[in-house]
Amino acid sequence: GWEQKFKLPTYTPADAAQASRRLSEIVLTAITPVLPDLIGGSADLTGSNLTRVKGVTDFQPPSAGLGIYTGALRSLPQLHAGTYIRYGVREHGMDAIANGLAACGGVVPFIATFLNFVAYAAGAVRLSTLSGHQLIWVGE
């Protein structure tokens, strides 16, 4: 019954063309409120590949002064809030981290970059494939 929770649009060949990154943004916006275990981000292309959903908090330490920390959570110095990761310019590291998150379980990682940068992550992409991880790649 999870399909009924998502408000995904439907498209036909007669519809106007849209960039795949715009379509992935629409899907991420629809599924993020329903899938609290969805965590991920982009390799320094957040504004270009449209992976940061409105209303989510970046994953960062409390010392960054960002995120939502209330009550007892303020006393946990190693706690990170948020589900959006800004990986910086490191496609290989991004995919390696997503592989680790998928291997540990409990979350569904998604990562994004442009296709011409995937070569930097070739080894980690191969490991994702061979491991059969539940990992969502958003690319264009």
Residues designated as active site: 91
Asked whether 59 and 81 are in contact (CB, 8 A), the reply is yes
For residue 95, what are the contacts with CB-CB under 8 A and spacing of at least 6? 111, 121, 124, 125, 127, 128
Tell me whether strands 136-139 and 108-113 are parallel, antiparallel or unpaired: parallel
DSSP element (H, E) containing 20? helix 20-31
